[in-house]
Structure 1
Amino acid sequence: MVKLFRTPLAMAELAWCCYQDAASAEDLCSIAPSSYSGAKTAYPQLATALETMEQYSTAAWYTDRLSDSDRSTMLSSITSQCSEDSRMTIAVYGIPDKDCNAGLSSSGTVQSTSDYQSFLSQLTTAVGDRKVLYIVEPDAVGLLANDGCGGAAGYLDNLKVAVAALSANSNAELYVDVEYWLLADSTNAAAVATIINELSASGTLKGVTINTSNYRSNDECTTYCNNFQTAMGSSTMTCIIDTSRNYNGSPSSDWCNVKTAGIGKPPTSETGISNIDYFMWVKPPGESDGVCTDTSYSDESLTGVTAGTFYKEGFQALWDQGFFVSEKGMATISGSSSNSTSQTSTQTSTQTGTQTGTPSATQTTGSTDTVAPADTGSSQLTTAPAATPSPTPTAPPTATTSTTSSTSSCKIKKRLRKL
């Protein structure tokens, strides 16, 4: 492998690649979900696909549902294994009285603002002044907007605490999680803008994260980002799209282990859309939304397993119907190769940032919230506006392993690091 770099042509390609990477793309870095390690052992036929997934950065979840010791281990792993010039990707999920609507995800070590300050201090001390991207408190804005239970639960004041603490690092980029349906109309978008303006007075925000644990297409989410900027009256703040399961868009209002879902475009800062800073995998692809078997689910949902744990059939469907098979020609898990034959994607391979047409009623009225890491258990989250279906359960992801996942546009550079 080293001989690849001995010819003048190879050296020129390396120099150009690394110049391009330094000039434009962020090198996103995280540690792989622990569920992948166990799945490769339990299901050897998934190993190639899972190893491909591990080459990209899936957000690490820093949550009070992990013990203090486990959080320390996670932080030690990500800070020691991600290079200084990379940008670590971390979802912060520990606000007091999480999931105040359903109460199924409210347990954890953080019970008060004082606890929350200590929880955040552990994180910021470990990160220091390193480059980091924070996704701030999935579900919180959805439970705060429109006089939701987050108001009485003190979410606004605690979000201000988080923004102040996390943005004290000038190399940190903060994106507050916002449910997509809150940006589907001007009234709800205005409520979001009010909250974001209040939070931005406490520290520096880059923007919002859209589509966490959901299936909405990049085109649809770009429209929601446009709506957000319109409500803000400025294009200064921008957006992240969770592409972990959105390759085929969301053809229905179902949210639980949707059969037609596919793994979306890999994490990158080179989105090709002016107001979308990153595509990211926030939800670890393959981790279940829960058991979707009662009469409230349609036949468009796979059965599933306990929320947040690895689901073999779900991962196989996501892989076979997603980006790597459809656009990269990789083999399906069943062994055949495909060039966009396993599923007709509702997304174009090159995003233009222009929405063609208005999202359908089914697309804009559903409410799906975060499924967080597995150790945290299942939880039914935000209740959307009256006419909307119930939201997706939030189960924080499984604890992450020490395997480093790094996303860069410079493949030769990545190969060099492994030598």
Structure 2
Amino acid sequence: MALSRRTAVLLAVAGLAVVAAVVLAVVLVSSAQTTRPPGPGTVVVASDGSKASDAARHAPAGSAELAAAEYLSEQPTAVWLTPEGDPIDVVDERIARLAAEARAQSARVAVVVYGLPGRDCGGHSAGGLDPDSYADWTRAIGDALRDAADTSPIVVLEPDSLALAPECGNEAERVEQLAGAVQSLAAERTWIYVDGGHSDWLPADRMAALIEQVDRASRADGGGGIRGFVTNVSNFMATADEVAYAHDVAARLDGLHAIIDTSRNGAGSNGEWCNPPGRRVGEPGGTLGDDVVDTNLWIKPPGESDGECNGGPPAGQWWPEAAVELTQDVPDE
């Protein structure tokens, strides 16, 4: 039976309303996904610019080195920004490329900012910028991340900086530097986590006091503050120990949360921190979380050396033998 013109118009209007409602629901869901903090299920970008990806392009065909590099290149892992590799004139382009990759993968940008003055207290990863250059560099990173706000960026700010401060005797200086960096990086959709050491380093009350100082100073004059702290970066402590430690630290803070690095803690710790033998990759990122621990991520890229120790190359360089050892227990697909 033919529809009257009025009925056809009404049906068309109703159909448009349904389409509009669906579009609105999709927009609202997408907005919620890009504004919410990290949590279980969080996926960060697996960048084609990683050292694992580069190693996979050059490893001998059929070799164990190739299999390890290919596997690690596919794993969502934070990208480390250093002034040596990503100076101020190119760091915005690096972040723009990461954001494009993240969008293509329906993932988040996750970066480690690692370049503060006197970095690593003169250790294997020594370096960094002078104070004025560091301020300029972190402002450039903050601007670039704001352009990538739709990827809800996660920032790990200066691993080891706070936990090392008592040993280095520069607590006040570190707090000031980190608070300034937080203010440069802060944005509505950027989630910042400062250094929280690990469960076998500073006592929870000492670590919490340092984190609280940075958070309070970063909020001065209307600054944005931090989401929380990150533990176990580049270390090997067991996940259960880190979860307990994160809860202990957070209980002394006001509403701050934690992220745990599980990139290389699959076999736990043997007490060494620099290229210890016998380690394995840990739980994939985004596989845990509770009311304090937002989630876990791979932050230290497995296969990159901790420094010239236990036979390793300089810090940050790709080490094929370590990549093979770390992935020995990964099941074949």
TM-score normalised to the size of structure 1?
A: 0.62
1:279 corresponds to: 296
User: Which residue identity does 1:174 align to in structure 2?
Assistant: I
Task: Determine the C-alpha separation between the residues in 1 that align with 2:306 and 2:125.
Answer: 14
Q: CA deviation at 1:278?
A: 2.1
Q: Hey, what does 1:260 align to over in structure 2?
A: 278
CA distance in 2, matches of 1:199, 1:176: 13
Alignment of 1:402-417 (within 5 A): none
Matched, 1:180 2:198: yes
Pair 1:39–1:171, CA change in 2 (3 A)? same
Report if aligned partners of 1:193, 1:231 keep a CA contact under 8 Å in 2: no
8 Å Cα contact 1:30-1:88 kept in structure 2: no
Larger RCO (CA within 8 A; separation ≥ 6): 1
* CA separation of 1:239 and 1:62: change in aligned 2, threshold 3 A: same
CA positional deviation for 1:105: 4.4
Q: Provide the aligned length of Structure 1 versus Structure 2.
A: 289
Unaligned runs of 5+ in 1: 1-17, 293-301, 332-419
Corresponding letter in the other structure for 1:156: V
- In the alignment, does 2:261 pair up with 1:242? yes
Q: What secondary structure sits across from 2:80 in the alignment?
A: strand
> Is residue 182–residue 192 contact of structure 1 (8 Å, CA) maintained in 2?
no
TM-aligned CA deviation for residue 171 of structure 1: 0.3
- Percent identity over the alignment is 26
Deviation string, structure 1 residues 331-350 (Cα, Å, up to 9, x no partner): 7xxxxxxxxxxxxxxxxxxx
Q: What are the within-5 Å matches in structure 2 for residues 9-408 of structure 1?
A: 25-32=41-48, 34-40=50-56, 41-44=58-61, 45=63, 46-66=65-85, 67-83=87-103, 86-99=107-120, 101-102=121-122, 105-108=125-128, 110-112=129-131, 114-128=132-146, 129-130=149-150, 131-144=152-165, 146=166, 148-151=168-171, 154-167=173-186, 169-181=187-199, 185-199=203-217, 201=219, 202-232=223-253, 234=254, 236-250=255-269, 252-268=270-286, 270-292=287-309, 302-321=310-329, 325=330, 329-330=331-332
One-letter identity of the residue aligned with 2:190: A
Greater C-alpha radius of gyration: 2
Aligned equivalents of 2:200 and 2:235: distance in 1? 14
Cα distance in 1 for residues equivalent to 2:109 and 2:94 = 12
User: In angstroms, what is the RMSD of aligned CA positions?
Assistant: 2.9
Within 2, Cα distance between the matches of 1:211 and 1:88?
20
DSSP-derived class of the 1:29 partner:
coil
- Shift in Å at residue 193 of structure 1? 4.5
- On the 8 A contact 2:196/2:211 being kept in 1, the answer is no
Task: Give the Cα separation in 2 of the matches to 1:190 and 1:277.
Answer: 17
**Unmatched 5+ residue regions in structure 2?**
1-28
Q: 1:119 to 1:33 in 2, by over 3 A?
A: same
Name the CA distance, whole Å, in 1 between partners of 2:43 and 2:167: 39
